[in-house]
Amino acid sequence: MKLILFGPPGVGKGTQAKLLVEEFNCKHISTGDLLREAVKNKTPLGLKAKTYMDAGNLVPDEVVIGLIEEVLAADDTRENFILDGFPRTVPQAEALDELFKKLNITLDYVLSLEVENDEIVRRLSQRRLCRSCGRIYILSQIGNNVKCPACGGEIYQRDDDKPEAVRRRLEVYQQQTKPLLDYYRKSGKLVPINGMHEIGYVHKLILDQLYKNYKG
């Protein structure tokens, strides 16, 4: 399976990607996760990316394109992967097409998760993560717990899930990322998914679409 999970921040791309990884045993490639890891480890890349990320802006194209080139080139990845949070600009999508050509990869689908704006803001303000295992929770699931129920790791809120950065991320989505919908619609690979339902049902909608269309 070779998929792109597309949509604004907060529509559930990360959550759905994790479920799809269990279903298809594929590699989850999240540029957001890769960048957060680099920030955590204070690598030169992380130090460069941090200010952009904290403000809710996009990290420069050449930085994320370089990251993706490295990850996709691995033999065990290129046949079975889900891209989550990449591409986010037209130049990134064009660079990805070039890379696919070079690596002989044919993309199957771009799953576009659709969620109304008010719901996105609500979800992002409620989102909490585990610093150790990366599990994603909503506040109501964990209450005031400061430890992850699954692994005991520290629970935290992403800096860019705070209201000002969320507003900026949604603007950035409208201006720079949304135009990609047309780009992928033209390629005939775009599959819209209604993301307004609960997690398990959205997963089922995705599987229905994939099994209906997938030719292997």
- Residue 128 as a binder of ligand AMP (CB under 6 A): the answer is no
Which one of 58, 120, 130, 148 is in contact with ligand AMP (CB under 6 A)?
A: 58
- Asked about 185 being catalytic, the answer comes back as no
The interface region with ligand AMP, picked from 29-37, 102-110, 183-191, 207-215 by CB under 6 A, is 29-37
- Residue 8 as a binder of ligand AMP (CB under 6 A): the answer is no
Distance CA 28, CA 21 (A): 7
Which one of 52, 100, 137, 183 is in contact with ligand AMP (CB under 6 A)?
A: 52
- Residue 31 as a binder of ligand AMP (CB under 6 A): the answer is yes
Separation in Å, CA 115 to CA 8, 14, 134, 142: 8, 14, 23, 23
Closest CA to 19 of 3, 40, 38, 37: 3
The interface region with ligand AMP, picked from 55-63, 106-114, 131-139, 149-157 by CB under 6 A, is 55-63
Closest CA to 81 of 31, 34, 28: 28
SS3 for 75? coil
Catalytic residue among 158, 162, 168, 178: 158
- Asked about 167 being catalytic, the answer comes back as no
Catalytic residue among 2, 36, 50, 88: 88
- Residue 161 as a binder of ligand AMP (CB under 6 A): the answer is no
Catalytic residue among 18, 36, 169, 189: 169
Distance CA 180, CA 9 (A): 15
In the chain, the DSSP E strands lie at 2-6, 27-30, 81-84, 109-114, 127-130, 136-138, 155-156, 190-194
Distance CA 102, CA 105 (A): 8
The interface region with ligand AMP, picked from 57-65, 111-119, 139-147, 180-188 by CB under 6 A, is 57-65
- Residue 180 as a binder of ligand AMP (CB under 6 A): the answer is no
- Residue 169 as a binder of ligand AMP (CB under 6 A): the answer is yes
Closest CA to 52 of 153, 176, 155, 136: 176
- Residue 7 as a binder of ligand AMP (CB under 6 A): the answer is no
Binding site for ligand AMP (CB under 6 A): 9, 31-32, 35, 52-53, 56-59, 64, 85-88, 92, 160, 169
